Amino acid sequence: MSKRIPEFKSEDEEREFWATHDSTEYINWNQAERVTFSNLKPSVKKISLRLPESMLEELKLLANKKDVPYQSLLKIFIAERIEKELRAH
């Protein structure tokens, strides 16, 4: 049987506790469920992407027709393709 997790007075106290204790003594990780926090705002990382000028101009035209910034439209296109590829496998 796992040990009981103590009640903490503050986040600092809890942080200090977990820094010095092994969670496997308190939680059975074999029974844990994997979840995705899809509503969290993802951290972003700036990248440099080289595109043919004609492709960029076409992307900007499409974005203008949809009344969205072209970088946002590109993120939508990439996200849709990633989702499609993940579902296929």
Q: Which pLDDT belongs to residue 80?
A: 96
Q: Is residue 42 domain-resident?
A: no
Q: Is residue 41 domain-resident?
A: no
Q: Is residue 53 domain-resident?
A: yes
User: Which whole number is the average pLDDT over 46-50?
Assistant: 94
User: Which whole number is the average pLDDT over 10-27?
Assistant: 93
Burial of 81 (0-12, 13-18, 19+ CB in 10 A): exposed
Q: Is residue 74 domain-resident?
A: yes
Q: Is residue 5 domain-resident?
A: no
User: Which whole number is the average pLDDT over 5-27?
Assistant: 94
The mean pLDDT value of the chain amounts to 92
- Among residues 44, 46, 77, 47, which one has the least CA distance to residue 59? 77
Q: Is residue 31 domain-resident?
A: yes
Residue 66 lies in domain: 11-36+49-88
Domain count across the chain: 1
Q: Is residue 80 domain-resident?
A: yes
Measure the CA–CA gap between 88 and 31, rounded to whole angstroms.
28
pLDDT class of 1 with cuts at 50, 70, 90: low
